[in-house]
Structure 1
Amino acid sequence: MRKTLLLFSVLISFAGYSQTAKVDSVAVLILDRMSDVIGGLNSCSFKLNVSQDVTGDNGLEKKFSDDEVMFKGPDKMLVQLKGDDNHKGFWYNGKHLVYYSYTENNYSVLDVPSTIIETIDAVHDEYGVDFPASDFFYPTFADDILADFTSVTFLGRKTVDGQDCYHILADSKNQRVQLWISDDAMNLPLRFLVIYKDKPNSPQYMGVFSDWKINPDLPDALFDFNEPPLATEIVMLKKSNQ
């Protein structure tokens, strides 16, 4: 019965977009399944290896980052970002979001909304902060793909690092996105690639997931920031003031 209802909803979505976009119903079914699984989690953690093209004095330069993310319920998040140039973290406990720079030993406390998704939106809009792979945790992920891309195509089954997966391509005037989603009971994302066609030299952003843990027991204390010795509190500048 669950599969029948899910397929019915996918066909409705497909019919609604068929007049304006080229949409593969199999791709939508896979995206919906992935979103359903992620949306049903009580907690999770994963690692994400990121490579991205950044414009420098000599053109595009490849930057790398090893990220670790933990979510619990609707209101707790811990993000650790360790890149070529800096090491920083974010602690969110449902009341405050704390940004801390390990590199500079300073931190900032932000008043934010009471859920993870609302906080991610608010901090991005006000401070320009992007959280790794956060798009996958939006309940509207599949709908957003359909709304933002003129073509969504299922490219077949592939193998990534020895793991069977589904390969999906979403294309638009400004972006080209590829998704690799595990072909197993969980249908979790394995990697993604974004090509920004509207920017000079078409920079790329790739994320590779690893070490997924499903519904782990994460103590609440993990999401509370403990001020390190000699750390300095600073004021994070909003985008309008940068």
Structure 2
Amino acid sequence: MKDAADNSIGRVARWPSLIGTILTMGISLIPQARAQGSDADKLLKAMSDYVAGQKTISVTFDSDIEVITSNLQKIQFTSSGQVQLSRPDKLRATRTGGYRDIEIVFDGKMLTVNNKDAKDYAQIDAPGTADQLIDVLRDRHGVVAPGADLLLPDVYNVMMADVVEGAVIGKGVIDGVECDHLAFRNVETDWQIWIESGARPIPRKYVITSKGIAEAPQYTLRIKEWKTDVPADAFAFKPESSAKKIALSDLGDIDEVPHGTANAGGKK
């Protein structure tokens, strides 16, 4: 994944009282946050168990990715999309941004990667589960199914694998919904997650900050709609009549930032 944030000398100069308030809040929160580290683990595990218990999931999302250009300018790219999942072996993910319009469809046997901008698509045999597919796409082909990691049945162990510190920061409100705000750290990144409070502990917002890249770019994912019903035909790929089938290796650049943009953040 990738990452984003914004700081400006002009803003700091204009809003000294606001900056002072933020610094004071940070100092007062640290002891409380450290004391609640074990609670952060419990809340994240509850989210993981709840997500794993859903046989079908359909979510819509917005995402922001910050990159640092060669002249150290921070630029943000924004996309929207949808992920539909039917356990154990069906997945559909779409991502539409200013530069790419991508669709991934998996029916348990065949994987399709559809580049709608270029009007071409690639298909490969890929028998297995949706969980296995997410890993294969990322590790072997460099293709990321947006937001899909948060839907894995083992998301707790995946996210906590290299965590060195965790804390409950407090409460937050995402799209009018009260959430528990958690913050975690590992060597290369800091990441935060907002989990809906109450009987439905679903992820609502996820932020990764890349500490190893100058200017600390961030990746932000905001889940908007969360449903547990998926249309029966959601995992059947129907190419446009003008679309051309090509080899996966010949598929063009399908990243969510323009080709040649340097130092994107977001990998945990």
RMSD: 1.9
Which residue is equivalent to 1:225?
237
Kindly report which structure 2 residues correspond to 1:57-206, keeping only aligned pairs within 5 A, or say none.
58=71, 59-206=73-220
Which 5+ residue runs of structure 2 have no aligned equivalent? Answer: 1-33, 251-268
CA shift for structure 1 position 151? 0.3
Q: Describe the SS at the equivalent of 2:161.
A: helix
Alignment of 1:33 with 2:46, yes or no, is: yes
Structure 1 residue ranges, 4+ long, deviating more than 6 angstroms after superposition: none
Is 1:22–1:152's contact at 8 Å kept on the other side of the alignment?
no
Deviates more, 1:151-160 or 1:28-37: 151-160
Distance 1:42 1:146, change over 3 A: closer
CA distances 1:77-105 after superposition (whole Å, capped 9, x unpaired): 11111011011101110001101111111
Distance 1:143 1:31, change over 3 A: same
CA shift for structure 1 position 138? 2.5
Which residue is equivalent to 1:3?
none
Q: Describe the SS at the equivalent of 1:136.
A: helix
TM-score by length of 1: 0.84
Which residue is equivalent to 1:237?
249
Q: Describe the SS at the equivalent of 1:218.
A: coil
CA shift for structure 1 position 145? 3.3
Distance 1:56 1:229, change over 3 A: farther
Is 1:191–1:207's contact at 8 Å kept on the other side of the alignment?
yes
Which residue is equivalent to 1:45?
58
TM-score by length of 2: 0.76
CA shift for structure 1 position 123? 1.2
Paired residues, number: 216
Distance 1:144 1:231, change over 3 A: closer
Q: Describe the SS at the equivalent of 1:200.
A: coil
Distance 1:110 1:37, change over 3 A: same
Find the aligned partners of 1:112 and 1:120 in 2 and give their Cα distance: 11
CA shift for structure 1 position 237? 2.1
Find the aligned partners of 2:110 and 2:240 in 1 and give their Cα distance: 17
Which 5+ residue runs of structure 1 have no aligned equivalent? Answer: 1-20
CA shift for structure 1 position 187? 0.4
CA shift for structure 1 position 57? 5.3
Q: Taking every aligned residue pair, what percent have the same amino acid on both sides? A: 25
